[in-house]
Homo-oligomer: A and B are copies of this chain.
Amino acid sequence: MTERTPGGYTGKILRVNLSDKSISIEKPDDKFYRRYFGGTALIGYYLLKELKPGIDPLGPDNKIIFSAGVITGIPCAGSGRSGVGSKSPLTNGWGDSQAGGFWPAELKRAGWDAIIIEGKAANPVYLWVNDDKVEIRDASHLWGKATKEVERQIQDELGDKSVRVAQIGPAGEKVVRFACILNDITHAYGRNGHGAVMGSKMLRAIAVRGRQAVPLANPEKVREVAKWLADNYKILSLTKGLSDNGTADGVPELNADGILPTRNFQEGQFEGYMDISGQTMTETILVGRGNCYACPINCKREVKVGPPYNVDPIYGGPEYETIAALGSFCGVNDLKAIAKGNQICSAYGLDTIATGNAIAFAMECFERGILTKEDTGGIELKFGNAEAMMTMVEMIARREGLGDILAEGTKRAAEKIGHGAAEYAMQIKGQEIPMHEPRGKVGLGIGYATSPTGADHVHSLHDNEYPAGSLGMEGLKELGILELLSPLDLSPAKVRMSQYHVNWEHFRNCATICVSIPFSHSQILQLVNGATGWNTSVFELMKVGERALALARVFNAREGYTAKDDIIPDRFYKAFNSGPLKDKKISREAMHQALQTYYKMAGWDPERAVPTAEKLQELDLGWVVAELDKPARK
């Protein structure tokens, strides 16, 4: 085992050019890692330096970067994740996405922090990273096959069942704009359409096998935190719920609070909520639980359903986002159908959030007469039609009929469909909105509007606003947020809460540590110091997060994005007709004011919504200042 010098972190980054098949290695110094860490910030560094504004996200000039972080792969729960980034084919702007699993730790154990993929292969290929040995291999025989088959076939031909595979599915091959990347079939880098980017490069998979221990500067510090979680995860209500019922444990509570996204955000309560809950899953179709590297919680689900659904547990089971997106959001209360829809998404490689969103959008268009049976190929595409939902998932994956239009994402689909369809496309900047209702937690609305990825929940206030005294609140308290605010509050105090949270969550996506594990900020600090030998602080970690966000915002500004693009759909400015949030709507004026406050508070130019030169200097990003002056290309 390599020992870390106290105070020094060293790592390697692999660069693979698919056009000329060149492979090279970069070894950034300790200071690089301390500034750019991994995940979002590392990706931001390379994308901003190396991509020209205005390039086609689906062309050879785009790059796709897989990045673990400095604590990925350490022997502690939460360290199993990594990020992926590229220019998003959904937003034509900044794209990043995160997933857990075992592939990220395997990458670290193979000695790599990140992989940068450039160019475009002439024929289907996959990448084989076998510790230090790296090979671009033919994947023609894998093209078109389901993810399950491809994973098995790669492991077979490499003669090692321990090989971990990150791959796209047939949907990525067909460049469905919201195609995802999956590792171990069940862990999705779902958002922003990176699967389409990988597909456009004809790169089907990255197979990894690592046999090196991840070195630790101070194993005892890491062990202490790991042990705390092992000792407490069955006691803490969040992790107990995750362990018992998976990420869908909270469905009944969300429904009771009137914030379960239902029928394309037309409602906040779903009459069939109990049918699709994590609790019901546990009692009915659940046959196993799964986990990520080093994690005892086992929040992942494995479900089995017989004919006619034929759901195979190897594809795991639906997460909360999937349950809501294919369930309540489409008005579907049939858990087996949702499980089937989930399986299709995993087999073909589709982001379940965007998929459910696209289908619900089409359902609303159908119900409003904007789409007809002629458009749907005879399908009665109404809310609640489980059969139609399952069919549409497959049609999107195969780009068949209406599915081909929806595969462009709801924003582009709405433009194509016309007749006012855009009003029903629940997207921001081109990315479909995840399954969290901003009308009941308005700080989330700020997060949706300002996220550089388009609507995103992995770095926006949501559970932290709701309910009082939640775990997220405890985390915010460590930053000096001493008072809980009403979830409906849009005051400057909420803006501050939102901003601190967003910056911390961006840091989390640089450390690539799981959001669902209730580590305190100081525990995560201990993991970082324990792994690297640094003596850093929560202050510096917050700045890493702020730096990551700054890089992403500048990337977007260069593409022509301004404050005018930081919006939420009009629907959220209308109140529900019933439920706990009846007559409660987000005020358009208050939201505008909150966003202006956000920009100024963040040190951003309020018109371009991008960090000022001085803020960039403060974030140790002096080299980025020149990027502000490059002409926008949107």
Name A residues whose Cβ lies closer than 8 Å to a Cβ of B. 31, 34-35, 477-480, 482-483, 492-493, 495-496, 499, 520-522, 525, 535-544, 597, 600-601, 603, 612-615, 617-618, 620, 622
Q: Which residues of B contact A483 (CB under 8 A)?
A: 31
Q: Which residues of B contact A613 (CB under 8 A)?
A: 600
Q: Which residues of B contact A520 (CB under 8 A)?
A: 535
The smallest C-beta distance from A68 to any residue of chain B, in angstroms, reads 21
Q: Which residues of B contact A615 (CB under 8 A)?
A: 600-601
* A538 lies within 8 A of B539 (CB): yes
What copy number does this chain have within its complex? 2
The smallest C-beta distance from A440 to any residue of chain B, in angstroms, reads 24
Known: A480-B536, A480-B620, A522-B535. 19 other contacts (CB 8 A): A31-B482, A34-B480, A35-B480, A478-B537, A478-B539, A478-B540, A479-B537, A479-B540, A480-B539, A480-B540, A520-B535, A537-B537, A537-B539, A538-B539, A539-B539, A539-B541, A597-B614, A601-B617, A601-B618
Instruction: Tell whether A535 pairs with B478 under 8 Å between CB atoms, given A603-B603, A614-B492, A617-B601.
Output: yes
The smallest C-beta distance from A614 to any residue of chain B, in angstroms, reads 4
Ordered nearest first, which 4 A-B pairs have the shortest CB separation? A537-B538, A600-B614, A492-B617, A480-B540
Q: Which residues of B contact A34 (CB under 8 A)?
A: 480, 482
Instruction: Tell whether A499 pairs with B618 under 8 Å between CB atoms, given A537-B539, A538-B539, A539-B538.
Output: yes
* B539 lies within 8 A of A492 (CB): no
Distance, CA A300 to CA B327, complexed state (A): 73
* B478 lies within 8 A of A536 (CB): yes
Q: Which residues of B contact A543 (CB under 8 A)?
A: 479-480
Distance, CA A542 to CA B34, complexed state (A): 19
The smallest C-beta distance from A551 to any residue of chain B, in angstroms, reads 15
Instruction: Tell whether A539 pairs with B536 under 8 Å between CB atoms, given A614-B597, A614-B601.
Output: no
Looking across the interface, which residue of chain B has its beta carbon closest to that of A482? B31
* A535 lies within 8 A of B617 (CB): no
Distance, CA A540 to CA B477, complexed state (A): 9
21 contacts across the A-B interface (CB closer than 8 A): A34-B480, A478-B536, A478-B539, A478-B540, A479-B539, A480-B536, A480-B544, A482-B620, A492-B614, A492-B617, A493-B620, A493-B622, A521-B537, A525-B537, A537-B539, A538-B538, A539-B539, A597-B614, A600-B613, A601-B603, A603-B603
Looking across the interface, which residue of chain B has its beta carbon closest to that of A529? B522
* A622 lies within 8 A of B480 (CB): no
Of A538, A612, A613, most B-chain CB atoms within 10 Å:
A538
Q: Which residues of B contact A617 (CB under 8 A)?
A: 492-493, 495-496, 597, 601
Distance, CA A294 to CA B535, complexed state (A): 26
The smallest C-beta distance from A138 to any residue of chain B, in angstroms, reads 44
The smallest C-beta distance from A38 to any residue of chain B, in angstroms, reads 16
Distance, CA A31 to CA B477, complexed state (A): 11
The smallest C-beta distance from A41 to any residue of chain B, in angstroms, reads 12
Instruction: Tell whether A618 pairs with B496 under 8 Å between CB atoms, given A31-B483, A542-B539.
Output: yes
Q: Which residues of B contact A541 (CB under 8 A)?
A: 539
Q: Which residues of B contact A522 (CB under 8 A)?
A: 535, 537
Distance, CA A520 to CA B603, complexed state (A): 28
Distance, CA A117 to CA B603, complexed state (A): 39
Distance, CA A499 to CA B150, complexed state (A): 54
Looking across the interface, which residue of chain B has its beta carbon closest to that of A520? B535
Q: Which residues of B contact A539 (CB under 8 A)?
A: 478-480, 521, 537-539, 541-542
Distance, CA A538 to CA B535, complexed state (A): 12
* A35 lies within 8 A of B482 (CB): yes
The smallest C-beta distance from A563 to any residue of chain B, in angstroms, reads 15
The smallest C-beta distance from A485 to any residue of chain B, in angstroms, reads 12
Looking across the interface, which residue of chain B has its beta carbon closest to that of A483? B31
Distance, CA A91 to CA B132, complexed state (A): 66
Distance, CA A288 to CA B48, complexed state (A): 62
Distance, CA A543 to CA B496, complexed state (A): 13
Q: Which residues of B contact A480 (CB under 8 A)?
A: 34-35, 536, 539-540, 543-544, 620
Q: Which residues of B contact A538 (CB under 8 A)?
A: 537-540
Distance, CA A510 to CA B485, complexed state (A): 27
The smallest C-beta distance from A32 to any residue of chain B, in angstroms, reads 10
The smallest C-beta distance from A492 to any residue of chain B, in angstroms, reads 4
Distance, CA A544 to CA B525, complexed state (A): 20
The smallest C-beta distance from A530 to any residue of chain B, in angstroms, reads 13
Q: Which residues of B contact A601 (CB under 8 A)?
A: 603, 614-615, 617-618
Q: Which residues of B contact A477 (CB under 8 A)?
A: 535
Q: Which residues of B contact A537 (CB under 8 A)?
A: 478-479, 521-522, 525, 537-539
Q: Which residues of B contact A31 (CB under 8 A)?
A: 482-483
* A620 lies within 8 A of B496 (CB): yes
Distance, CA A522 to CA B614, complexed state (A): 27
Distance, CA A600 to CA B603, complexed state (A): 8
Distance, CA A525 to CA B520, complexed state (A): 15
Q: Which residues of B contact A603 (CB under 8 A)?
A: 600-601, 603
The smallest C-beta distance from A476 to any residue of chain B, in angstroms, reads 10
Looking across the interface, which residue of chain B has its beta carbon closest to that of A542? B539
Distance, CA A205 to CA B592, complexed state (A): 55
Distance, CA A74 to CA B127, complexed state (A): 59
Q: Which residues of B contact A496 (CB under 8 A)?
A: 617-618, 620
Of A477, A521, A525, A614, most B-chain CB atoms within 10 Å:
A614
The smallest C-beta distance from A593 to any residue of chain B, in angstroms, reads 11
Q: Which residues of B contact A612 (CB under 8 A)?
A: 600
Looking across the interface, which residue of chain B has its beta carbon closest to that of A603? B603
